[in-house]
């Protein structure tokens, strides 16, 4: 999960889309800057759809002038959407759309991968990627968190939280939204829980140390004030009593489990955790660990933590021998902990034991930039593949997580600072169409990766935004 700060502005067309009313598309009236439609001056023809036998993952890259969408099969450019200023990317939660966060708000980008269930099989379609008019206005749009069947957007500038069902995006709308505000604006996050409640941070621009859970009526049902510098979240394997969510703090993480918060001891010498990655098939959360210094957050840590949310600690640690940064962490289809380090290696770790499964040369050696907005190597995971971008060299490696083998390398047309990958499925798994369908019109490229067949892998829990 990432942050959004000091962003530039969206293009005039994108800003305009945020001001349009839902009623122009025949939907319910929009309020508080939530929009998903209309206006004759900006309405464009719907993209033409093509039926195919299967879908190929699409790579979404934010760069200094916009957002590019690439076909992962050959690196061909499918769209380059202009966006003025600095843009962040987050999965919308449906496997098809990516939320673009920039000055002015959040807007859904349709990556053009469409899966239609039809009885015991599915049909697949592709279309040109387009920036939709499904927009939520925001002063400082921040975290995008899909969880379960809902997605939460957090506006740091106002403290407003907007929760919606991402399935509505297939119709070009946000559908019904639930909106509420925190007690004060701050750099925060919200997580929709499966029982209809909402977990979110509380704080101010100067200080934040609280996490609360409110039920659907807005009544507070759980709270902790023991999370100074609260930042970062990750959902883990739920218990019989409901969702489990880990949250980063400067003095050891907290975990919401069985309806209450549990405080964990910090990693000695690496007390601050602010970036976490989880999958709902595993109780273990991958987290960073940074020393806390008087001058602020330290850089150059080589230690990561494996937090077992099913216990009360301690946090298991792994020293990778090379530093990493906040864009370095992700999870594999079987819960593997993935960490991209400055020596250019992708470390693939067994989360239960902390043992190294694979060390894969993925990029040239690099150093974390002084400015967090500057491009540097990063990764995203989809369909059992780690997509590792090396911005300085404009390369992208596609690495089979199970085998640790690099099966494809692409040249990039831009220098990206953010990456997301969509598959058309919320799970992040690629699906095959009806066997023998004469109208399938396409090959299942990108799934059987030149001899690396991913069939049978469990992709549950993928698709969470950084």
In a domain, 385, yes or no: no
pLDDT at position 158: 97
The pLDDT of residue 297: 54
Q: What is the DSSP letter of 341?
A: -
The answer to whether 40 touches 29, Cβ cutoff 8 Å, is no
Inside any domain, residue 138: yes
**So what's the pLDDT on residue 292?**
81
Number of domains in the chain: 1
181 part of a folded domain: yes
443-448: which pairs have CB atoms within 8 A and are 24 or more residues apart? 443/53, 443/54, 444/53, 444/54, 445/54, 445/56, 445/73, 446/56, 446/57, 446/72, 446/73, 446/383, 447/54, 447/383
pLDDT tens track for 23-37: 223 333 333 444 543
Residue 29 burial (10 A CB sphere; 0-12, 13-18, 19+) = exposed
Boundaries of domain holding 115: 85-192
Helix (H) or strand (E) holding 178: strand 177-181
458 belongs to a structural domain: no
227-254 b/e (C-beta count within 10 Å ≥ 16 → b): bbbbbbbbbbbbeeeebbbbbbbbbbbb
What's 186's domain CATH number? 2.40.128
* Residue 89 included in any domain: yes
- Position 100 in a domain: yes
pLDDT of residue 257: 98
Q: What is the pLDDT of residue 95?
A: 96
Q: Count of CB atoms within 10 A of residue 444's CB?
A: 17
Q: Which residues of the chain have pLDDT under 70?
A: 1-46, 294-298, 429-466
The contacts of residue 130 (CB under 8 Å, 6+ apart) are: 44, 47, 79, 81, 109, 110, 112
pLDDT tens-digit profile of 423-434?
A: 998 877 665 544
What per-residue confidence (pLDDT) applies to 445?
Answer: 39
250 contacts: CB under 8 Å, gap ≥ 6 = 228, 229, 271, 272, 292
Strands 113-118 and 141-147: unpaired
- Flag whether 144 is in a domain: yes
> Side by side, which strands form the sheet with 378-382?
378-382, 385-390, 395-400, 405-411
Question: Could you give the CA distance from residue 324 to residue 322 in angstroms, rounded to a whole number?
Answer: 7
β pairing state of 50-52 and 121-126? antiparallel
**Residues in CB range of 19: below 8 A, 6 or more apart:** 33, 35, 137
- The pLDDT of residue 294 is 58
Confirm whether 162 is domain-assigned.
yes
């Amino acid at each position: 999960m990432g942050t959004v700060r000091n962003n530039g502005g969206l293009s005039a067309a994108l800003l305009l889309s945020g001001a349009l009313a839902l009623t122009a598309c025949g939907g319910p009236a929009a309020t508080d800057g939530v929009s998903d439609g209309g206006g004759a001056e900006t309405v464009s023809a719907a993209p033409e759809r093509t039926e195919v036998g299967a879908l190929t993952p699409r790579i979404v890259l934010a760069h200094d002038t916009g957002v590019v969408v690439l076909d992962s099969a050959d690196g061909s450019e499918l769209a380059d959407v202009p966006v003025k200023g600095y843009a962040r990317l987050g999965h919308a939660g449906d496997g098809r759309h990516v939320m673009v966060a920039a000055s002015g708000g959040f807007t859904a980008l349709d990556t053009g991968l469409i899966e239609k269930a039809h009885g015991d099989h599915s049909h697949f379609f592709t279309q040109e990627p387009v920036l939709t008019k499904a927009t939520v206005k925001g002063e400082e749009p921040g975290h995008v968190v899909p969880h379960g069947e809902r997605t939460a957007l957090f506006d740091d500038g106002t403290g407003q939280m907007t929760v919606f069902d991402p399935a509505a995006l297939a119709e070009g709308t946000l559908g019904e939204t639930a909106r509420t505000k925190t007690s004060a604006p701050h750099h925060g996050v919200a997580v929709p829980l499966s029982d209809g409640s909402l977990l979110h941070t509380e704080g101010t621009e100067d200080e934040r140390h609280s996490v609360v859970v409110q039920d659907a009526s807005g009544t507070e049902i759980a709270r902790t004030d023991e999370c100074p510098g609260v930042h970062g979240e990750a959902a883990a394997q739920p218990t019989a009593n409901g969702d489990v969510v880990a949250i980063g703090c400067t003095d050891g993480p907290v975990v919401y489990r069985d309806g209450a918060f549990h405080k964990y001891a910090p990693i000695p010498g690496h007390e601050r955790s602010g970036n976490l990655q989880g999958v709902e098939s595993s109780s273990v959360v991958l987290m960073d660990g940074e020393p806390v210094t008087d001058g602020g957050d330290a850089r150059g840590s080589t230690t990561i933590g494996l937090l077992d949310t099913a216990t009360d600690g301690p946090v298991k640690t792994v020293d990778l021998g090379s530093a990493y940064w906040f864009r370095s962490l992700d999870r594999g289809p079987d819960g593997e902990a993935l960490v991209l380090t400055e020596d250019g290696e992708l470390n693939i770790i067994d989360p239960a034991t902390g043992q190294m499964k694979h060390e894969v040369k993925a990029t040239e050696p690099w150093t974390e930039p002084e400015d967090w907005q500057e491009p540097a190597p990063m990764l995203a995971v989809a369909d059992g593949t780690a997509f590792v971008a090396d911005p300085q060299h404009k390369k992208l490696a596609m690495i089979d997580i199970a085998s640790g083998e690099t099966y494809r390398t692409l040249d990039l047309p831009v220098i990206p600072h953010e990456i997301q990958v969509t598959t058309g499925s919320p799970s992040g798994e690629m699906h095959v169409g009806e066997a023998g369908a004469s109208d399938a019109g396409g090959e299942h490229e990108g799934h059987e990766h030149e001899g690396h067949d991913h069939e049978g892998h469990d992709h549950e829990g993928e698709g969470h935004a950084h």
